[in-house]
Structure 1
Amino acid sequence: MANWIEVILRAIGMLMLLFFAAKLAGKKQVAQLSYFDYISRITLGGIAAITILHLEVNFYYGILAVVVWVGITYLLDLLALKSKVVRAFIDGKSTVLIKDGKVMEDNLKKEQFTTDMLLKQLRTKNAFKFADVEFAVLEPTGELNVLLKRDRQPLTLKDLNVKIPDEKEPQAVIMDGKILNEPLATLGLNQAWLKTELDKQGVAIENVFLGQVDSFGQLTVDLFDDKIQVPKPTEMPLLLSSIKKCQADLELFALATENEKAKQMYSKNAKKVEEVIRKVQTLLQ
């Protein structure tokens, strides 16, 4: 057999083996790998490269080395799931760098983390002053996680006591100009509804690259031709306008009538509608 043919066959075989090894290792991203995982993957790559390019090396020995190495790392991962001691030994422990707003100098030296590196990592978390940080911990992966002081944290709707309903993930109902029936059925909709919504926007299905429906039943589309401007959905703003008009009409009725009982009824209902507007205005704008 020619050498180049053998290299190709070895490369294909090793690629398939490493593919199954990667599937066995799970879905960890590169940034989530521990030092042990990182070294393990580098070693596997080295074994594969030597087995493929060094034809004097027995190919089956290379396969055996990969299988043994993957088996050991997989066994250690299983032990790490069951034992905190093993997990701490393999993955390492988190290190607190800032606690109660104070920089832990000894921990910085222990992790060989300079002041410049600390400030750089803080800036990636939108913390440009260390005085704004209540707590910062260096994870075993090298990522710095930061908890800002209470008065430096972004304001949320919960802080304003504004209650909003839970929002479900949007469903893609059109891809590459084709309707996806399963997501439509999940939302309790059908193709007739979808075509009606597209007609409102003046868009043909075959011109839609991607179409999504959110949990409020609002359709958003992206066209193949980016030069064409698609009008934004108007159902929510129109609904808000209708509710506001209803509230204004009730106030007008209260002013126009001379019947005291009717005046009180209109005023009471106008206040109820005003309360509804206050609760849903954030969602419908």
Structure 2
Amino acid sequence: MTPITEVAGRRVPLSNLDKVIHPATGTTKGEILHYCAVMAGALLPHLRDRPVSFLRYPDGPGGQLFFTKNPPPGAPPWVRTAPVPRSDDPGARQVVVDDLPSLVWAANLVVEFHTPQWTASAPGIADRLVLDLDPGPPAGTSECCAVALWLRERLAADGIDAYAKTSGAKGLHLLAPIAPTPSAEVSAYAKGLAMAGEAELPRLIVHRMARALRPGKVFVDHSQNAAAKTTATPYTLRARELPTVSAPVTWEEVEAGAAGRRLSFLLGEMAGRLERYGELLAPLTRPGRDRPALP
């Protein structure tokens, strides 16, 4: 029998809380749910009003992984969905995780959260810019950090403040709040940044995805600004051998990472980081903030 718990007045079914999801650390499903509940104050603002895609890994990162945009079967009626028309399904809808009960319900499915750069209330109109820095071996985190520092200065020259987080793997994500802008225009601007980086640092940066071009360089993936694309949500757990988190980091940490310091964080470290640094990505979700327009 599946146990039921009450979360903020909603009855949420939970299951297999003792199941080990990350064998390398013995991390259980119950610990994953606890993490999401403890971090809800930081995580929920990045999910709120954004249609979510799930990468599900119910048997751990070594089991079957599957990416889904459709609401999972059996979703409670109180879980919000929003219309997200697709060419193959004009009536498509996706889950929107707006509150703690919805977050706990989704975490019980064992998922990574992925969200677009726009909200359900303004589809295809981005309010943030994202650059995904993906290293091609033997390049790694330190090279990503060096590229991030260059991009930060380049964005600042355009009046745009950038914030960094780990991808939860070897890369970094840069995020910047912007004035609402059609996704196609943000994509074009982001591609221009990647091309400028490649022109200035050709031994370090590549702007094209082709694998043959990437060994030893950092691919600046600008494509995730497209309206149909998503990026790992800040604070989401990742389906990796270790329970790594897509964790916000300070620019001082990025500088240290460029010098070779570790820049990877597990779920057990995140509450302490939040207490020490606060919500480093709060400017992305702050209502009423003046946001710069793209040049």
TM-score of the two chains, using structure 1 as the length reference:
0.19
Structure number with the higher helix fraction is: 1
Structure number with the higher strand fraction is: 2
Give the greater-gyration-radius structure (CA): 1
TM-score of the two chains, using structure 2 as the length reference:
0.19
